[in-house]
Amino acid sequence: MPIDPRLREGVDRFNAHQFFECHEVLERVWLETSGPQKDFYKGLIQAAVAFHHWAKGNRAGALTLARSATRYVKRYTPAYLDLDVESLLKSFTDVFGWLTRHPLRYDPRLVPILRWTTRATSPTGE
């Protein structure tokens, strides 16, 4: 099954630290989706918004969304829709776990990279 190009765009935006834009792209997909994919998209959206809040200095908002995003995304390990969910979840929980204990200002070097599984690395996802 080919990957929705909007998911690819959302991942690209996330990896470029364009979190608000990532949210906008993935929200359009989420609104059109039903079934188990809907919660997966919701988790990705919340992960992007958590980083958006942290980047804007809203640590409390970032932590709240990080907890919610983790609850959604962890249901889809190790991989889902050709995304490496396990590596995202590990990095994500490490960063926000640390942020829970330390009032660190936003550091883009700590943002995890959303990675595709091997099958999804070709332009067509085949």
Residue 26 lies in a domain: yes
Q: Evaluate whether residue 126 is within a structural domain.
A: no
CATH number of the domain bearing residue 92: 1.10.3450.10
Q: Nearest-CA neighbor of 37 among 99, 93, 82, 90?
A: 82
Residue range of the domain that includes 11: 5-121
Percent of the chain with pLDDT over 90: 80
**Residue 13 buriedness (CB in 10 A; 0-12 / 13-18 / 19+):** buried
| 15 assigned to some structural domain | yes
Establish how many alpha carbons lie within 13 A of residue 103's alpha carbon, considering only the half-sphere containing its beta carbon: 3
User: Distance from CA of residue 49 to its chain's centroid?
Assistant: 9
Give me the pLDDT at residue 126, please.
37
Q: Using CA atoms, how far apart are residues 2 and 65, in angstroms rounded to an integer? A: 29
| Mean of pLDDT over the chain | 91
As for how many domains the chain has, the answer is 1
58 lies in a domain? yes
- The residue among 2, 125, 1, 14 whose CA lies nearest residue 73 is 14
Instruction: Say what the pLDDT of residue 40 is.
Output: 96
